[in-house]
Amino acid sequence: MASRAWSIATRLCHPTSTKVDGYGAMSTPIFQTATFAQPTATTFGEYDYSRSGNPTRTVLEEQMAALDGADRSFAFASGMAAISTLVRLVPSGGRIVTGDDIYGGTSRLLGKIAPRLGISVEHVDMCDLDNVRAALSRAGTKTDLVILETPTNPRLRITDLAGVAAAARACGAICAVDNSVMAPVLQLPLQHGADIVMTSATKFIAGHSDTTGGILSVRGKELVEQIAFIQNAEGSALGPFDCWLCLRGLKTMALRMERQQRNAWRLAEFLSRHPLVTRVNYPGLAAHPGHALHMAQAAGPGSIVSFETGSVDASKAIVEAANLFSVTVSFGSTNSLISLPCFMSHASIPADVRAARGLPDDLVRISAGIEDADDLIADLGAALDAASGGGAAHAAEAAEAALAAEELDKAALVARIKQLEGELAESRKTREN
Ligand SMILES: *Cc1c(COP(=O)(O)O)cnc(C)c1O
């Protein structure tokens, strides 16, 4: 039979590895050891110390490199440990350009730690390529590193990956993409010209809210060597057991993400027709300003939706009234999660900066889990009802009507989502081959 390139769902279940355990174990053994005996006092074996390398970690890193299309991947103790390593690539006196809608922890690292290292940081609206080009080549400054997210968290704004990567290359800056929201199942930034892709393994890779981890997938010998050196020197690698949790998570990642995406799509459609909701951010909606660009560079809109109600009180009430949605930071879990980013994951960004960046306090972020979509819609609908004040009969009735309309439209909607998923799968195959 003619050889064909396996699609990602298959490759997730059948990783290839240079590490063989000798027994054909279907689950990668956990090498829970700090040290490895040396063959002689003056020669080293393949492994000597787990900070420098561990076989369980190697299996994870090899699989991630294959998925991301990288020369090599590195597993870190968390996404932030991985991003912190990116910052280490920048010399003192150097400069980073990043987006104005970025993860709160990244914003804190760049705002509070980078300046201590003598690194300056400029935040720009990455959705506007001219802005990015202007920032990169501002008179008298050389940019060393560009860090971008697309879709951004939490507003799901879309950046032109290839455009920014080309602009970064043109001025000699390293282009790093935080791909935590998409993971390799939905987006492959290295294919669009990025040098490094960061994925918080805490999210879709581990997938069950059971560990933290971060991956850097890197192109180019020089960058690979630098990152290997920094990881070993600083001791920020992921431990063997956590690597194993990530490896187990990877096997079901495509399955989970497809279900989560379908659920998110249904929730986004439901929210966009609800009277209490003033705005919905989801790149799968045709009305989303980045819809066409996103669909051209990714294989699906993902499972994160954010929305506004125009009232912090109403948003807070919704978050607290939803039963199936746990109120937690993070996303990408089997369980649906709901949060108020300005009070939770993004609270470390000062209020005036949030306001200047257009990050509204009433923004609610949902991460769709793998539960039944009808249950999720019913539960969120009830939470919206509750937020309408109970006494506010008009709004509650409107919510009921929206739910009824949703029931009517459901079959058509599911059919449309299936069709879109089919088209996306086709375009992904074309890209992969
Ligand atoms: C969660 C997250 C991070 C940080 O990852 P941790 O594993 O929590 O350290 C970075 N970027 C984005 C977009 C994230 O969502």
Q: For 27-95, give the DSSP string.
A: S------SB---SBTTB--S-SBTTT--HHHHHHHHHHHHHHT-SEEEEESSHHHHHHHHHHTSPTT-E
* Residue predicted with more confidence, 117 or 429: 117
Give the pair of three-digit tokens for residue 366.
């949902």
Question: 98 CB under 6 A from ligand 1?
Answer: no
Distance 91 CA to ligand 1 centre (A): 24
Q: Does the structure show a pLDDT above 60 at 394?
A: no
Residue 91's pLDDT band, with cuts at 50, 70 and 90, is: very high
Question: What is the pLDDT at residue 15?
Answer: 86
Question: What is the pLDDT at residue 405?
Answer: 60
Average pLDDT over residues 406-416: 66
Is 103 catalytic? The answer is yes
Least confident of 111-115, 243-247, 394-398: 394-398
Most ligand 1 atoms within 8 A of CB, residue of 84, 152, 180 to mutate: 180
Is 72 catalytic? The answer is no
Average pLDDT over residues 64-82: 98
Question: What is the pLDDT at residue 359?
Answer: 86
Most ligand 1 atoms within 8 A of CB, residue of 76, 78, 102, 103 to mutate: 103
Question: What is the pLDDT at residue 393?
Answer: 45
Average pLDDT, the chain: 91
Question: What is the pLDDT at residue 409?
Answer: 62
pLDDT tens digit string along 244-284? Answer: 999 999 999 999 999 999 999 999 999 999 999 999 999 99
**pLDDT > 90 fraction of the chain, expressed in percent and rounded:** 76
Question: What is the pLDDT at residue 430?
Answer: 62
Average pLDDT over residues 398-417: 64
Distance 408 CA to ligand 1 centre (A): 38
pLDDT tens digit string along 209-240? Answer: 999 999 999 999 999 999 999 999 999 999 99
Which residue out of 203, 219, 259, 354 is catalytically annotated?
203
Average pLDDT over residues 337-352: 86
How far apart are the C-alpha atoms of 361 and 383, rounded to whole Å? 19
Which residue out of 47, 68, 100, 103 is catalytically annotated?
103
| Length of the chain as a residue count | 433
Q: 159: left (phi > 0), else alpha (psi -120 to 50), else beta?
A: beta
pLDDT tens digit string along 148-199? Answer: 999 998 899 999 999 999 999 999 999 999 999 999 999 999 999 999 999 9
Could you give phi then psi for residue 217, rounded to 5 degrees?
-110, 130
**pLDDT > 70 fraction of the chain, expressed in percent and rounded:** 92
Judge whether 146 and 168 are in contact, CB under 8 Å: yes
Domains, the chain, with CATH or none:
8-251 (3.40.640.10), 253-432 (3.90.1150.10)
* Residue 230 to residues 62, 193, 233, 357, Cα–Cα distance (Å): 19, 23, 5, 33
Distance 365 CA to ligand 1 centre (A): 15
Question: What is the pLDDT at residue 352?
Answer: 86
pLDDT tens digit string along 355-384? Answer: 887 889 999 999 999 999 999 999 999 999
Question: 78 CB under 6 A from ligand 1?
Answer: yes
Task: Give, using CA atoms, the residue closest to atom 4 of ligand 1.
Answer: 79
Give the pair of three-digit tokens for residue 343.
């009070």
